Amino acid sequence: MLLRPERKGPVRAAITGVHGYLPDYVLGNDELARMVDTTDQWITERTGIKERRILKGEGLGTSHMAAEAVRGLLAKTGTRPEEIDVLVCATITPDFVLPSTANLICDMVGMRHVGSFDIQAACSGFVYGLDVASQFVETGRAKKAILVGADKMSNMIDYTDRTTCVLFGDGAGAVLLEPSDTGAGLVDIELHSDGSGMKHIHQKAGGSRLPPSAATVEARMHYLYLNGPAVFRAATERMSASVREIMTRNNLTIDDVNWFVPHQANKRILEAIADRLGIPHDKVMMTLQKYGNTTAATIPLCLWDYESKLKTGDRLVFAAFGGGFTWGSAYLNWAYDGAKAAKAAGKPRAFSETPAE
Ligand code: UT7
C-alpha cells in the first residue's frame, strides 16, 4: 500500500479548474440491443447505464478527446499553454505505444518544453495520476500541472460480446492543479495494487508477451477480457475498504464529507459501497447513466458534470478500482466556487440533474 507521510509544509495541490470532452455520437441501449442479444431492461437493471458516447472519425484517438478537454480547461481558467509546467495523462488506450499520448496532447494544444508523460493504472488511472501530478505542485517543481484522464474504450471493446460492450464509453476529463496554502487541496491519498487480479481483467495480446499478429487478430485477442462477477466483488470490497480507511485516518464521519466521487463502473457497485458505508445516495456523484464506464475519465467527468454544485471548502472523497487490480482513494478540500466557474464558462453542466430514464 502506498500511503503519504504526514505533510510537513502548508502547501497542498488544489484542483482549480475542471473541464471535459465527450464525443457527439450517443450509443444507446436500444442500438446495442440490435447488435447483440441484450435488452435495455437488462442493461438498465444490471448496470444503471442508459447510453454512452463513442468517438467516430478516422484517425481520431484518445489524444483528440484529451486535447479538447485540455483546451477547454485552459480557456476556462484563463491559463496560457506556456504557463503549464507538467501534463500527466492517465490512459489505457494511448494513440500509440510510442510516443506517449501526453506528448501528443501537449503538441496539439501548443504546450512546448513541458514535462509530459502517461500513467497506466486502468480505471484507477485518475487517482494514481492525482498522486503523481500533485507531488510536482506540492514540492514546488510545478506551479501549474494538468492531469487528464482519457480513454477511447470503443477501440478495445468487442461489439459482439454482450458481457462487455454494454459497459464502456469514450471520454476525457482534465483538471488544473495549483499550489494552495488556504487549506484547500489534496489532503490524503492511498494507492494499492494486486497483480494477481490480472486473470480477471486484461487484454490477451498486443503487448510484449504476445505481440500482435494475424493469428492474435483472428483469435480476437485484442479485445478487453472481463470476468464481470469477480471484478464486481473485488471492486465493491476494495473500494469500500479504501474509503473506510482514508476516512478513519482523517477522522472523517459520513456527515463531514460533502461528496463521494467513485469510479463509474456499475450503479449496483456504487450503491453497494454506499450502503456498506452508510453514505446517503444523494452524496454519491453518478454520471454512468449517460457516459458508461470511461475508465480513466470517470472521476474528472463527474467533477465536470457536478461542478456547479461544488462549493469552496467542500470535502470530497474519490475512490477507484480497475484492471491490475489497482485501486485507491483520495481525500481533498474543494478550492473554488463551482457554480461561478461553470456559469462563467457559459456552459453549466447539469446532466447530473437530468438523469436518463
Ligand atoms: O471498471 C472496472 C471494470 N469493470 C467493472 O467493474 C465491471 C464489474 N462487473 C459488472 O458490472 C457486472 O458483473 C456485469 C454488468 C458485467 C455483469 O452483471 P452480473 O449481474 O454480474 O451478471 P453475470 O455476469 O453474472 O451474468 C448473469 C446472466 C448470464 O446469463 P446466464 O448464464 O445466467 O444464463 C449472462 O450471460 O446475464 C447474462 N448477461 C446478459 N444478458 C443480457 C451478461 N451480459 C448480458 C447482457 N444482456 N448485456
Convert the pLDDT of each residue in 205-251 to its tens digit. Answer: 999 999 999 999 999 999 999 999 999 999 999 999 999 999 999 99
- Report the alpha-carbon distance of residue 116 to residue 88 in Å, rounded: 6
Q: Which residues contact 287 (CB under 8 A, 6 or more apart)?
A: 264, 298, 301, 302, 305, 351, 352
Told to judge if 29 belongs to the known catalytic residues of this protein, a careful annotator would answer: no
CA of 228 to the centre of ligand 1 (A): 6
350: pLDDT strictly greater than 60: no
Ligand 1 pocket member 287 (CB < 6 A):
no
Task: Please report the pLDDT score of residue 8 as a whole number.
Answer: 54
CB 237 within 8 A of CB 277: no
pTM above threshold 0.85: yes
Told to judge if 263 belongs to the known catalytic residues of this protein, a careful annotator would answer: yes
- Ligand 1 nearest atom to the CA of residue 201, by list position: 3
Q: What is the dotted CATH code of the domain comprising 186-344?
A: 3.40.47.10
Closest CA to 264 of 231, 239, 220, 299: 299
CB 267 within 8 A of CB 289: yes
357: pLDDT strictly greater than 50: no
Q: Name the residue with cell 475512490.
A: 319
Phi first, then psi, for residue 278 (nearest 5°) are 75, 30
pLDDT grade for 2, boundaries at 50, 70 and 90 = confident
Q: Which of 19, 64, 192, 263 is catalytic?
A: 263
Q: Is the dihedral of CA 23, 29, 32, 36 positive or negative?
A: positive
Closest CA to 69 of 39, 101, 46: 101
pLDDT grade for 355, boundaries at 50, 70 and 90 = very low
Amino acid symbol at 68: E
Domain ranges of the chain: 12-183, 186-344
Give the 3-state secondary structure of 36-49: CCCCHHHHHHHHCC
Closest CA to 152 of 101, 103, 198, 207: 101
- Residue 149, helix vs strand vs coil: strand
pLDDT grade for 203, boundaries at 50, 70 and 90 = very high
12-183 under CATH 3.40.47.10, yes or no? yes
Ligand 1 pocket member 115 (CB < 6 A):
no
Ligand 1 pocket member 232 (CB < 6 A):
yes
6: pLDDT strictly greater than 80: no
Closest CA to 299 of 149, 185, 76, 170: 149
Q: Tell me whether the omega of the peptide bond preceding residue 117 falls within 30 degrees of 0, making it cis.
A: no
Reported as a single tens digit per residue, the pLDDT across 251-290 is: 999 999 999 999 999 999 999 999 999 999 999 999 999 9
pLDDT grade for 4, boundaries at 50, 70 and 90 = confident
Percent of the chain whose pLDDT exceeds 90: 93
Told to judge if 123 belongs to the known catalytic residues of this protein, a careful annotator would answer: yes
Task: Please report the pLDDT score of residue 348 as a whole number.
Answer: 53
CB 336 within 8 A of CB 177: no
CB 153 within 8 A of CB 168: yes
Task: Please report the pLDDT score of residue 346 as a whole number.
Answer: 78
- Ligand 1 nearest atom to the CA of residue 322, by list position: 2
| CA 214 to chain CA mean position, Å | 33
Same fold, 12-183 and 186-344: yes
Cell numbers placing 77: 481558467
CB 116 within 8 A of CB 105: yes
Compute the C-alpha angle 309/310/314, nearest 5°.
Answer: 135
Q: Give the E-state strand segments of the chain in sequence order.
A: 12-21, 25-28, 51-54, 86-90, 115-119, 145-152, 170-180, 185-193, 201-203, 224-226, 259-262, 315-322, 326-333
Task: Output the residue whose Cα is nearest ligand 1's atom 8.
Answer: 232
Q: Residue 348: exposed, middle, or buried by beta-carbon count in 10 A (0-12, 13-18, 19+)? A: middle
Reported as a single tens digit per residue, the pLDDT across 112-166 is: 989 999 999 999 999 999 999 999 999 999 999 999 999 999 999 999 999 999 9
| CA 159 to chain CA mean position, Å | 22
311: pLDDT strictly greater than 50: yes
356: pLDDT strictly greater than 70: no
9: pLDDT strictly greater than 70: no
